[in-house]
Copies of this chain bind each other. A is one copy, B any other.
Amino acid sequence: MNGAEALLRSLVASGVDACFANPGTSEMHFVAALDRVPEMRAVPTLFEGVATGAADGFARVAGRPAATLLHLGPGFANGMANLHNARRAQVPLVNVVGDHATFHQRFDARLQSDLWGMAATTSAWQRSSTRAEDVGADGADAVAASYGPPGGIATLIVPADVSWDEGGRPAPPRPRAPLPLVPADTVEHVAKILRSGEPATLLIGGAAMGERGLRAAERVARATGAKLLCETFPTIHARGGGLPGPEKMAYYGEMGTAQLEGSRVLVLAGARSPVAFFAYPGKPGDLVPPGCPVEPLAGPGVDVVAALEQLAEAVGAGEAPGSPGGPGGGGGGGGGRERPDRPSGALTTETMAAAVGHLLPEGAIVVDESITSGLSVPAATAHGPRHDWLALAGGSIGQGLPVATGAAVAAPDRRVLCLEADGSAMYTVQSLWTQAREGLDVTTIVLANRSYAILQFELARVGASGDGARAASMLDLHRPALDFVDIAAGLGVPASRAHSADELADLLERCLATDGPSLIEAVLAP
């Protein structure tokens, strides 16, 4: 058995059975070995940013890592922006990166680059395999490292000769330690603070935004009077179906500051202390009010859900109400307690949101890279059926379509709805081809405002005197307008265009009832 096959068998044995792949010459033995290891599902992509983003989406939904297969330094580089996002999402992910054969590296051939240095900028763990005998064990170690602690992105560099040499040995999975529990006295310390009656905010994030975490946090807030907030860009956020729907920290710093105003203590559970996304002249970067202490209950790498449940007991909270539509079904940013009516009339960000809220199917996975155009969707879906919400965790645009692709591979029995801004869609639009090839049930709504609208806001917010024509023209996308119906068709995905709310609702209803991928370009009224 050669090294490549041993690596594949080791990955599968460790529970990694999906691989998003952009192979090149140095990965051909890995590709060839796929025929001997049918347990591994290999999903080809047309660009590495699709592969890494898809692995992120897969991990968010499946709760376990997928592999990528990347070609040398430049292939890794093409996947790095979405690895940045995956790093911020704190998901496990295993990169397999082919390299020149060990004996070839001294020649500094054209495609050679500082792959090790590139990997170091974004990996929590990295190793370069040196022998076919070891690469199976290296693969098992990589999977274990992706789980952690601390976990994250594990990058295994595999020189071509390590793949093709005989002597490969598949390795068994490494034992996985359970997540460490938060010490009891930390829980008691926080409980005491919350019981004191001081105005407090409980800010949750990470794994606390799943069902159990939300219910426990809601019990704590209800018992202590603490204000419950959740982080702005969750990895995976359980919503709808009567789950508690805490208010989100706002994207803009001054709104975040206002949300925390009056708090005398801020308790963190799976979330980091809130800071501004960007700096602005004369505005604070740290959003915590002066004189408000920050008390961490649980950071990354510990069992935040168990900590919240322990905290709920420690503050004497009763059971959560939790019945759908009952008092547990919180706001999520405003709006009524019913699903919105089917919208009609002009296609605006509000009627678009209503169409989504009206039609969102049970068990849907919503991937949100809507940037400015999607602000009304959270409220419109808060009282809908149970669904999961995947946000732009690292802030680097071009994540939405790939994450939706990987999520659909992880959950073939669920519908994926991707809300995608037009400017962001163009970063990794190649994703659509993989959706078509794999027949994935992903419906993408491209929100076509034909500009980098957020930058038009930001230009003013940073105090730049950008009222000149040349600056403005750098931020618009209408000369020429992108035609996403044509682009999607060219990539094999059936597409259509909505100019009104009625059209959008009709098209969305049809797409959600049809197998395979689809795309709707929603042309938003200016």
Contact = CB atoms under 8 A, between A and B. Distances in A.
B480 A433 contact: yes
Contact of A35 (B74, B454, B468): B468
A508 interface: no
A328 to B, nearest CB: 30
A486 B479 contact: no
Contact of A468 (B32, B459, B463, B482): B32
A78 interface: yes
Contacts of A28: 455, 458-459, 462, 464, 466
A177 interface: no
B462 A29 contact: yes
Given A84-B74, A113-B84, A394-B111, A463 B164 contact: yes
Given A34-B468, A161-B279, A394-B74, A491 B481 contact: no
Nearest to A37: B470
A273 B135 CA distance: 32
Contact of A113 (B38, B101, B111, B122): B122
28 contacts: A25-B278, A25-B454, A25-B455, A28-B455, A28-B464, A31-B471, A31-B474, A32-B471, A35-B466, A46-B426, A47-B427, A74-B395, A77-B81, A77-B84, A78-B81, A103-B279, A110-B233, A111-B394, A113-B121, A117-B120, A161-B281, A429-B429, A433-B482, A481-B492, A482-B491, A483-B489, A483-B490, A489-B490
B107 A114 contact: no
Contact of A393 (B110, B285, B394): B110
Contacts of A481: 492
Nearest to A120: B117
Given A430-B426, A474-B34, A480-B492, A277 B110 contact: yes
Interface string A471-512: 101110101111111111111100000000000000000000
The winner among A78, A101, A393 for most chain B CB atoms within 10 A is A78
B31 A74 contact: no
A296 B31 CA distance: 40
A463 B489 CA distance: 37
Contacts of A24: 455, 458
B104 A278 contact: yes
A278 B110 CA distance: 9
A239 interface: no
Interface residues of A, number: 101
A486 B480 contact: no
A104 B104 CA distance: 43
A476 to B, nearest CB: 9
A31 B475 CA distance: 9
Given A74-B394, A88-B110, A469-B35, A464 B433 contact: no
Contacts of A469: 35
A49 interface: yes
A104 B31 contact: no
Interface string A436-471: 110000000000000000110011011111101111
